[in-house]
Chain A
Amino acid sequence: MLRAPLVVEFPFTRSLGPVQSAFLTGLRERTVLGVRTTDGKVLVPPVEYDPATADELRDLVEVAPTGTVTTWAWNPGPRRGQPLTKPFAWVLVRLDGADTALLHALDVPGPDAVRTGTRVRIRWAATRTGAITDIACFERDQSSSGVTGRHARPHSGRFAAQEGPVTGIVAQARLDYTYSPGRAQSQYIRALAGHRTVGERCPDCRKVYVPPRGACPTCGVATTEQVEVGPRGTVTTFCIVNIKARNAGNAAIDVPYVYAHIALDSADLALHARIAGIPYDQVRMGLRVEPVWSDDARFPDHYRPTGEPDADYDTYKELL
């Protein structure tokens, strides 16, 4: 089976509401803010709307950087992106003054060093940008007891720092996959390596699909019979590209160029490819073309005119 690595990576950019903005600005300034609900509970981390009543919440309070573990889980194998690179405990921590708990990592040497009820305090990150990761992790706190009952104090949500309030976050996301295209597409890609284009015929309606996806979208049945198509084909429709897509593979291509739908001979579905070997403003519907392979390529680099007379419209009108 064919397999290839596939990486999906993107920055997730989000704006903040006034409460989240104050909270993340507070973390940057080493201050933990919560929000008070209409019935007097203090939510940390704070939210913009009450999870029970949907009331808009704006009443900010400051809570302590110390708190109590409400549940924990020992993580012997940290994964990419997690707060610590050595084994640690995941914890929900109710900070002193808060009524709800915050998820983070606790840096302790082993599972015997943490229990529900363990007293902990925030270890701040050396560089803080206004993100939940401004809390590097929690660590055990032997000095504070928590039983004195430190209360939440009102806070304006404003900080004197020159950077101003945090108004958004950018969360980097990366997921790694090993992609396998399945039976039909694997066979298609294998044939391409031998400079052949192979489609599949529907056993019911007899249409030939290129590239094959394993099923006929009209009949909903598996396509299995392989049919070699092309190599020549007909341009059914096209567009002129004036701005290059940002892609390293496009570096050697000059704009404007033509991108076209091409119905390969004996195929019942048009595929798309670049047209070259002809001025862009002379490409037309019905133009007969053939693939141009570069030496070690796994798909045609582009299609070029064959010099044959144009195809009659009636021969490809069903494939538009």
Chain B
Amino acid sequence: MNRDVAIVAFGQTDHLRRSDELSEVEMLMPVLHEVLAATGLRTGDIGFTCSGSSDYLAGRAFSFTMALDGVGAWPPISESHVETDGAWALYEAWVKLQTGDADTALVYAYGKSSPGSVRDVLTRQLDPYYLAPLWPDSVALAALQAQALIDAGATDEQDLAAVAARSRDAAAGNPHAQLRGPVPHGDYLVRPLRTGDCPPIGDGAAAVVLAAGERAGELCGRPAWIRGIDHRIEAHGLGVRDLTDSPSTRLAAERAGAFARPVDTAELHAPFTAQEVVLRGALRLGDDVTVNPSGGALAANPVMAAGLIRLGEAAARIHRGASDRALAHATSGPCLQQNLVAVLEGDPR
């Protein structure tokens, strides 16, 4: 049987277009201190630490080792790193807690998109034989998916504009978001996607604390229990996939138990408007579900942290009693290539 594990604290930076005055560790440290202070834990109390970031964003090899200074990693701590979104670092930490080797875990993620050109940087994660030599950028690939969805009659440009507007409206209540309130739908960046359909480019970091069993109740008034968590992947070739659907999201949601009972909230990691349409369909979310009350990735998209932030935002709503059962989703790769789904619940009030 699974051990009960909960998210007991969440923190994030303000997400900004540039953060030249801060190194990665300088940007990250206040968030680490925030989640530690929220739980009363000190760095030495943490059983396992796991992070997510990307050397290609930083432009330097082993860039994550510098960030480790911020967690007091010397003398050596039990630590790991994933070269992808921090949501997968949370998954690894959850597994570690399942083994019983640790009772608490610190999970963090950060990304600075400002030093490079993130559209070009993300081409380097693609198939090196058939895709990478063509340098198809992240917006172009998302646009191919959006057009497929429009051709299938599942959405149109007006619908997409409404997704964008609703996200940035919601973000008006999120002081950390980069785009808040009305944002013009704008010109085509890569048609059919307009600038308003695309996420802001920026820098940011986030952290959560996980705790198992009774420890969770000691550290948090209302822990966000992870009732299920799973991640799945689509076929490697874009031209093999049906870009209008996300079977891997649906499978991960099934395995996480998302369909057992309705959720009241969903935090979806959809950097592009059309991807929210795909995810709503795959997850069979009804109109009664509050989707992305934080504004989602369309309001703040610190690459490598934006997925972890979905889990953190969903948990924070449970912490403050705004949700009882929430779904959190994270994605990585082109056109929703890999997808993670977690179901979070608060104890009855």
A interface, CB within 8 angstroms of B? 1, 3, 6, 8, 12, 14, 16, 20, 24, 43-45, 47, 51-52, 70-76, 79-83, 90, 92, 94, 100-105, 111, 116, 131-133, 169, 171, 173, 175-186, 213-222
Whether the Cβ atoms of B26 and A184 lie closer than 8 Å is yes
Taken together as a complex, chains A and B put the C-alpha atoms of A175 and B115 apart, in Å, by: 10
Could you say which of A80, A105, A217 contacts B73, with CB atoms under 8 Å apart? A217
How big is chain B's contact interface, by range? 35 or more
Q: Which chain A residue lies CB-closest to B55? A: A8
Q: Is the CB of B134 within 8 A of A73?
A: no
Given A6-B115, A179-B59, A184-B26, residue A74 in contact with residue B237 (CB < 8 A): no
Which secondary structure dominates where chain B touches chain A?
A: helix
Which residues 22-54 in B have Cβ within 8 Å of A in the complex? 22-27, 29, 32-33, 43
B23 pairs with A76, CB closer than 8 A: no
Q: Are A1 and B191 in contact (CB under 8 A)?
A: no
Q: Confirm or deny: B20 has a beta carbon within 8 angstroms of a beta carbon on chain A.
A: yes
Contacts of A101 in B (CB 8 A): 238-239
- A169–B71 Cα distance when bound, in Å, is 41
Say how far B135's CB is from chain A's closest CB, in angstroms.
4
If A51-B237, A82-B134, A214-B26 are given as contacts, then 18 extra A-B residue pairs at C-beta distance below 8 Å, sorted by A number, are: A3-B20, A12-B128, A43-B237, A45-B129, A45-B130, A51-B235, A52-B235, A71-B243, A72-B147, A73-B140, A103-B131, A132-B129, A133-B134, A177-B116, A183-B21, A213-B69, A217-B72, A217-B74
State the total of A-B contacts with C-beta under 8 angstroms. Answer: 191
| A220 x B70 contact (CB < 8 A) | yes
Are B22 and A182 closer than 8 Å at their CB atoms?
A: yes
State the CA gap A217–B25 with chains docked (Å).
11
Residues of B within 8 A of A (CB): 20-27, 29, 32-33, 43, 56, 59, 66, 68-75, 115-117, 119-121, 123-124, 128-137, 140-141, 143-148, 151, 188, 190-193, 235-240, 243
Give Cα A74–Cα B140 distance, bound, in whole angstroms: 8
| B25→A80 contact, CB < 8 A | no
A24 with B129: CB separation less than 8 A: yes
Partner of A103, one of B25, B68, B148, B238: B238
Given the known inter-chain contacts A175-B121, A182-B22, A184-B26, please indicate yes or no for A71 contacting B144, CB distance below 8 A: yes
Given A47-B237, A92-B238, A83 and B134 touching (CB < 8 A)? yes
Instruction: Report if A1-B20 is in contact (Cβ < 8 Å); known contacts: A51-B240, A74-B190, A175-B59.
Output: yes
- Chain B: which residue is nearest A7 at the CB level? B59
